[in-house]
Amino acid sequence: MASAISVSGLHKSFGRTHALDGLDLEVSPGEVHGFLGPNGSGKSTTIRVLLGLLRADAGGVRLLGGDPWRDAVGLHRRLSYVPGDVSLWPNLTGGETIDLLARLRGRVDRGRRDELVERFRLDPTKKARTYSKGNRQKVILVAGLASDVELLVLDEPTAGLDPLMEAVFQQCIRELRAEGRTVLLSSHILAEVEALCDRVTIIRLGRTVETGTLAGLRHLTRTSVAAETSAAPTGMRELPGVHKVRVDDRRVEFDVDTEHLDAALRRLAELGVRSLRSRPPTLEELFLRHYGDELAGDQGEPGPL
């Protein structure tokens, strides 16, 4: 089956700024695909190209088998878009805004709409100008989730939501996946991506640096190990692929590249393991590893989360 989204070698410049510099993105039908990158790396620009709001300078872009610039209207019948930073019509109520956007996409399911309003605890009678950031976000989320579409394009959809609403959102996405819908989820909340996504694409400076399943990506990175041994833990530092070794009497903690995990564990066994904790790399560590040099250069901006 053809890809739901297929982007290859996408370039886009604004004046002298190269926002996208050969970006690739593949999203298969039925998957929830995480789209990660630091601020200003080109996530929203990519999404706006996918929506036909911006025109690609170069590169191939296919969305649901069509050209997003030429076939915009036809394609938009089959997708929902939820931006993270939305401005609503100040004197329309939340309910009116939801109905407007849902009707424009066609096929309004009253029951589903009301159920979502209920689940997100949204008061639909308030004028948009009086909503808080989180409530504005709920309006656009409900409008996006209420439509019966094949593809959801979500650009930091939970910005401003509280943890309870975040949980509701994750539940909704799981339901959509179970129904076989495709989701492109751009997010800064790595825990959210980790909980929801089958595959992720990580971009940086307008270029794709990593793409694959979470399990696959973990192979590329390190596992954290903490152990207590009978003998003093010596010789760990000399092992290949072992990093950040901290020894405290009989306790040792270190990170190890996945391909060298086996050798490291053998060495531990020789020392006599009395307790062992190991943790697979989190997405955050994965992410930070890709941007580690940026962090080293600029301590002022810690990674997201």
Partner 1 sequence: MTTLAGTGGLVRFILRRDRVRLPVWVLSISVSVLGSVASFASTYPTAADRQARARVLDSPVASLFVGPGYGLDDYTYGAMTAQEMLPITALAVALMSIFLVVRHTRAEEESGRADVVRATAVGRHAAAVATLAVVGGANLLLGVLLAVALPLSLEGLSPGGSVAFAAALTGVGLVFTGVALVVAQLSRAARAALGAASILMAAAYLLRAVGDMGGGALSWLSPFGWATETRAYVHERWCALALPGLAAAMLSVAAVAIGGRRDVGAGVLADRPGPATGPPLLGSPWGLALRLQRAALAWWTVSLLGLGLVYGGIAEEAGELYEDVSAIAEYLERIGAADAADQYLALTFFVSALIGAGYSVQSALRLRGEESAGRAEPLLAAPVSRWRLAGSHLAMSLGGGVVLLLAFGLGAGTTRALSAGQVSELPRLLGAALAYAPALWVFTALATALFGLLPRASGAAWAALAALAFVGFLGPLLRLPDWAYDLSPVEHIPRLPVAEFTPVPLVLLTLVAAGLLAVGLAGFRRREVGAT
> What does the binding site for partner 1 look like in residue numbers (CB under 8 A)?
48, 51-55, 72-74, 76-77, 81, 83, 85-93, 95-101, 103-106, 123-127, 129-130, 140, 143, 153
Neighbouring-strand partners of residue 248: 251
Tokens of 189: 């909340």
CB-nearer residue toward partner 1: 140 or 252 = 140
CA distance 192 to 50: 23
CB-nearer residue toward partner 1: 54 or 286 = 54
CB-nearer residue toward partner 1: 50 or 283 = 50
CB-nearer residue toward partner 1: 55 or 237 = 55
Minimum CB distance to partner 1, residue 74 (Å)? 7
Sequence-distant (≥ 6) Cβ neighbours of residue 263 within 8 angstroms: 239, 240, 241
Angle at 283 between CA 277 and CA 284, to 5 degrees: 90
Amino acid of residue 9: G
What one-character DSSP code corresponds to residue 233?
A: -
Minimum CB distance to partner 1, residue 182 (Å)? 16
Neighbouring-strand partners of residue 6: 26, 62
Minimum CB distance to partner 1, residue 255 (Å)? 41
CB-nearer residue toward partner 1: 127 or 267 = 127
Tokens of 124: 């639909």
Minimum CB distance to partner 1, residue 93 (Å)? 4
Minimum CB distance to partner 1, residue 209 (Å)? 26
Q: Tokens 């504005």, residue? A: 136
Q: How far is CA 274 from the centre of its chain?
A: 38
CB 243 within 8 A of CB 221: no
CA distance 168 to 152: 16
281, with CB counted inside 10 A (0-12, 13-18, 19+), is buried
CB-nearer residue toward partner 1: 77 or 207 = 77
Three-class secondary structure of residue 62 per DSSP: strand
Minimum CB distance to partner 1, residue 122 (Å)? 10
Neighbouring-strand partners of residue 273: 229
Minimum CB distance to partner 1, residue 19 (Å)? 12
CB-nearer residue toward partner 1: 13 or 278 = 13
